[in-house]
Structure 1
Amino acid sequence: MKHYDLVVIGAGSGNVLVGPEFAEWRTAVVEQDRFGGTCLNRGCIPSKMFVVAADAATGVGAAARLGVHARLDHVDWPAIRDRVFGRIDPLHESAVRYRRDTGTDVYTEPARFVAPRVLEVGGETITADTMVVATGSRPVVPPIPGLSDVAFHTSDTIMRIDGVPESLVVIGGGFIAAELGHVFGAFGSRVTIVQQGPRLLMAEDEQVSQRFTEIVAQRHRLLLGHRAQAVEARPGGVAVQVAADGGTGPTETVEAAALLVATGRRSNADLLDATAGGLDLDEHGHIAADASFRTSVPGVWTLGDATNHFQLKHRANAEVRVVRHNILHPDDLITASAAPVPHAVFADPQIASVGLTEQEARARGIRHVVSVRDYADTAYGWALEDTTSFVKLLADPRERLLLGAHVIGPMAATLIQPLLQALACGQTVDRIARDVVYIHPALTEVVEQALLAL
């Protein structure tokens, strides 16, 4: 049995926790898969690299509105894929080597708790005074009859396939469906999205979700309000039986060369036998923790997808900073920022959002005023010939503070940044609208105009 001062379980965001501050500690990192976690290996980073290529492909045809007439001759999928993973895959070995060279033990076998602060890893038992559970999440595979008998993909696997499928059925209508539907549609797949709700991206502001759905419906076949009832193999692909009206209406069969299941993600805490380690779980299977990320077991901390419901790398990175501080300063605990957590969807169009949606504000009875400004109202919007994008802001009319910000259109994830800062720093609408000089004719003028209207 080996004993450590610190053991980190999970080498996604958890891997960066072990810094120079722990040079005098005996440390270990446990990771049964690949260092870098979901984000680096099969999530946000590779998918965005694919999205950039997809944007280039769709930009060829879209340029006609600017008077530039071009043709897309060929999409070299192996070259696109190999550019992505040729850069990403070597990072695992280099990360493991770095950890070992700098004095941290690395375990690459599956781990499970056998008692509080006691792990069984590949036939060994290890203990620690301090443990951090950062085991991430995995795709949800719904109990659809026949699904286990067919070859299907999740976001974990589809980016590594050998070729672009002629047709693709996507079950789900969230982030993954939006982004990977864009990627494969841009590269030539006929995409059908099966979504139980009435719109795609249902968690977004309703006005944004509706606009996004209208745009995507012009490119892909959308079966909204449909539930996948059964799946079976067919020559050259799969067949998905779907039913309208949320599963109670008429049925039809959709055939495709490939199937992507994009119905969400779940915490990996169960794979760790967290309860055997004395850890409490919430009703969704996440490890329960307080605002400082302490678990129910003294000395055990948690962060990232294992505990939170955001499933966002930037949130996990912020939590790493909090947990590192708290481990090193147990008498001076801090918590994560109370500012709303932003997110972006790198589809076409791009979406970025932070804070309350209008429907949330109404449902909670929160006083608010709304401003919506189209890209088309700005000079750069004219340059883009944009007719569908907009910025939407919500604010408290008495406090004059932003409550929420939502952007749909080119560079949305960048345009929202000054609004994030305003929310986090408590800056009034008046201040960020009038005390800041916005570059003309940059696209940021749409943010300025939305603020002035607000």
Structure 2
Amino acid sequence: MNKYDAIVIGLGPAGMAIAGMAPLMGLKVLAIESHKVGGECLNYGCIPSKAMLKIGEVAYSTKKLDFFGLKSTSEITSSAPMDNVRTKTPKINNQMAEKMFPGVDLIIDKGLASFVDSHTVEVDGEKYEGKTIFIATGTEPFIPPIPGIQDVPILTNQNVFALEEVPESLTIIGGGAIGSELAQAFSRLGSKVTVVQKNSFLVPIGDEEAGHVLEDQFKKEGIKVFNDTQIEKVEQKNNKIYTHTTNGVLESDKLLVATGRQPVLEPLNLEKAGIDFDKRGIIVDEYNKTSQPHIFALGDCNGKSLLSHAAMHQSMLSLMSMFTPEPAESLKRSNHLVPWAVFTKPEIAQVGMTEREVKEKGTDYIVVKEDYANYTRAASEGHTTGFVKVITDLRGTIYGVTICGEAGSELIHEWVLAMQNRLTMFNIVMMQHTFPTLSLLNKRVAEQWMMTMMQNGAMEEMMKQIK
């Protein structure tokens, strides 16, 4: 039997990070991928969706068409955008994977891995033994039990990018990140798009005001949004799909389901390895260890943070834990903030708690906000939609930040660094920001906090922070 220091099951973001780092630490590594290297993110999610959003933005603004091989808006046919998504999306084949992971034994597209016991996995009839095993099998689309949904052709992120043409009309169930991004992308490429969801605002895990700002933009672009709406049934008649809702019947050529994710645990045979799990995923501790301490579950399959960057970060922490004799506080997953972003226009980015969450905790707080429209650089470039909002207090503690607007996904990282290192609003005020970058919006909102301190007679408290 082939023996390894580490076996990696799944080569999405989490598994790729392990396969890339572990050999550099002197480990003999086997990596197993049942389908495509890159996993959901590279092949069916983060990357193709961003390519499609960019093509939609170009079509919407009629600029930079030559990048996509299009000379004028008249050349944007119903098939051209989808062809370009497939062309521009990076693809990793077996030969490329070998170059990416030198020194790693690879088993790609030869079947699913399953446990024989807690140290042994089997693929395509062959058994492999690992001293340490990393499970990184990700998630797949969750299809809700809507009457009739099994009888109609549905789209998910796994097959939507394989469409030959942009549909004339599209109904999207779900207003989260995937639903919102694809709604705007398809709308800008010519689809008549309707979003229907049970939640009261778009991107419901985030800030309500940001969700409403995005919805206002959707309405300007002709995207219909039905919030607080239940789906009663779906059916197909005469090549049309009819979505029956509590707000009426929606007719469309295609139906996209974007209602969340579920872990991919079959056919791992986790019971044979003595690994505990539930419907949310594989149960792990703060160090991403399963009920078997030599087996880690990383990324989406443990249900903690369904984000590619979180998966890669968990991989780094777990590898470091392998070489740490005693548990290290700094390697605990919960000690590291997880920001997220939705790449619509305007973008929505978040770190820490929303105002709703702070309020529910009963924490005393204040809200300081700076609008994009008030900053000359943003206004001069037409980026007047959105805001930087910080949930803080009179001491300058930063509880959470929402950025809704141009480059929000980039601007959020200053706040991640500040919060993770327990810096305050005063530290942001005192940091010089290059003018006229958009990052100056972060400083301007911190200055709003300082003005609030003065108005509340708390200047003396603020001055205590000067050392």
TM-score, length of structure 1 as denominator length: 0.90
Gaps of 5+ in 1: 62-70, 245-251
Deviates more, 1:132-141 or 1:412-421: 412-421
Preserved contact between residue 239 and residue 254 of structure 1 (Cα < 8 Å):
yes
Q: Distance in 2 between matches of 1:384 and 1:101?
A: 45
Judging changes above 3 Å, is the alpha-carbon distance between structure 1 residues 31 and 393 closer, same or farther for their aligned structure 2 residues?
same
**Alignment-derived partner of residue 23 in structure 2:** 22
* Letter matched to residue 403 of structure 2: V
- In the TM superposition, residue 410 of structure 1 has moved relative to its aligned partner by 1.2
Q: Distance in 2 between matches of 1:273 and 1:404?
A: 40
Q: Distance in 1 between matches of 2:21 and 2:338?
A: 28
Judging changes above 3 Å, is the alpha-carbon distance between structure 1 residues 21 and 123 closer, same or farther for their aligned structure 2 residues?
closer
Deviates more, 1:292-301 or 1:322-331: 322-331
Match 1:239 to one of 233, 242, 265: 242
* TM-superposition CA deviations, 1:111-163 (whole Å, max 9, x none): 22243233232222333221000111111011112211211100111012100
Preserved contact between residue 270 and residue 285 of structure 1 (Cα < 8 Å):
no
Judging changes above 3 Å, is the alpha-carbon distance between structure 1 residues 445 and 27 closer, same or farther for their aligned structure 2 residues?
closer
**Alignment-derived partner of residue 178 in structure 2:** 176
- In the TM superposition, residue 237 of structure 1 has moved relative to its aligned partner by 2.9
Structure 2 residue 369 is the aligned partner of structure 1 residue 372:
yes
Q: Map 1:258-273 to 2 at 5 A.
A: 258-273=254-269
- In the TM superposition, residue 192 of structure 1 has moved relative to its aligned partner by 0.8
- In the TM superposition, residue 238 of structure 1 has moved relative to its aligned partner by 1.2
Preserved contact between residue 341 and residue 347 of structure 2 (Cα < 8 Å):
yes
Preserved contact between residue 181 and residue 343 of structure 2 (Cα < 8 Å):
yes
Q: Percent identity?
A: 29
**Alignment-derived partner of residue 202 in structure 2:** 200
Q: Distance in 2 between matches of 1:360 and 1:331?
A: 34
Deviates more, 1:357-366 or 1:308-317: 308-317
Q: Map 1:11-410 to 2 at 5 A.
A: 11-12=11-12, 13-19=14-20, 21-22=22-23, 25-60=27-62, 72-76=73-77, 78-88=79-89, 90-98=91-99, 102-107=103-108, 108-218=110-220, 219-244=222-247, 252-282=248-278, 284-331=279-326, 333=328, 334-336=331-333, 338-398=335-395, 400-410=396-406
* TM-superposition CA deviations, 1:364-416 (whole Å, max 9, x none): 11121111111111111321344431111111323x22111111111111122
Deviates more, 1:205-214 or 1:257-266: 205-214
Q: Distance in 2 between matches of 1:27 and 1:241?
A: 51
Deviates more, 1:354-363 or 1:79-88: 79-88
* Letter matched to residue 92 of structure 1: N
Preserved contact between residue 9 and residue 136 of structure 2 (Cα < 8 Å):
yes
Q: Distance in 2 between matches of 1:407 and 1:127?
A: 47
Q: Distance in 1 between matches of 2:161 and 2:78?
A: 10
Preserved contact between residue 145 and residue 230 of structure 1 (Cα < 8 Å):
yes
Judging changes above 3 Å, is the alpha-carbon distance between structure 1 residues 115 and 444 closer, same or farther for their aligned structure 2 residues?
same
Gaps of 5+ in 2: 64-71, 450-467
Q: Distance in 2 between matches of 1:352 and 1:368?
A: 20
Deviates more, 1:140-149 or 1:350-359: 140-149
- In the TM superposition, residue 298 of structure 1 has moved relative to its aligned partner by 2.9
Q: Distance in 2 between matches of 1:357 and 1:216?
A: 22
Preserved contact between residue 377 and residue 446 of structure 1 (Cα < 8 Å):
no
* TM-superposition CA deviations, 1:256-309 (whole Å, max 9, x none): 111100001111124423233211114x43111111111101311111001133
* Letter matched to residue 18 of structure 2: L
Q: Distance in 1 between matches of 2:106 and 2:56?
A: 40
**Alignment-derived partner of residue 3 in structure 1:** 3
Judging changes above 3 Å, is the alpha-carbon distance between structure 1 residues 157 and 25 closer, same or farther for their aligned structure 2 residues?
same
Deviates more, 1:333-342 or 1:30-39: 333-342
Match 1:451 to one of 442, 446, 457: 446
Preserved contact between residue 54 and residue 187 of structure 1 (Cα < 8 Å):
yes
- In the TM superposition, residue 102 of structure 1 has moved relative to its aligned partner by 2.8
Secondary structure in structure 2 of the residue aligned to 1:18: helix
- In the TM superposition, residue 236 of structure 1 has moved relative to its aligned partner by 2.8
Q: Distance in 1 between matches of 2:195 and 2:236?
A: 18
Judging changes above 3 Å, is the alpha-carbon distance between structure 1 residues 339 and 396 closer, same or farther for their aligned structure 2 residues?
farther
Judging changes above 3 Å, is the alpha-carbon distance between structure 1 residues 220 and 124 closer, same or farther for their aligned structure 2 residues?
same
Q: Distance in 1 between matches of 2:78 and 2:36?
A: 24
* Letter matched to residue 241 of structure 2: V
Judging changes above 3 Å, is the alpha-carbon distance between structure 1 residues 296 and 441 closer, same or farther for their aligned structure 2 residues?
same
Q: Distance in 2 between matches of 1:47 and 1:313?
A: 14
**Alignment-derived partner of residue 66 in structure 1:** none
Q: Distance in 1 between matches of 2:369 and 2:166?
A: 38
**Alignment-derived partner of residue 428 in structure 2:** 432
Q: Distance in 1 between matches of 2:382 and 2:106?
A: 56
Secondary structure in structure 1 of the residue aligned to 2:199: coil
Aligned length: 435
Q: Distance in 2 between matches of 1:391 and 1:271?
A: 45
- In the TM superposition, residue 427 of structure 1 has moved relative to its aligned partner by 1.7
Judging changes above 3 Å, is the alpha-carbon distance between structure 1 residues 321 and 101 closer, same or farther for their aligned structure 2 residues?
closer
Deviates more, 1:77-86 or 1:146-155: 77-86
Q: Distance in 2 between matches of 1:213 and 1:117?
A: 50
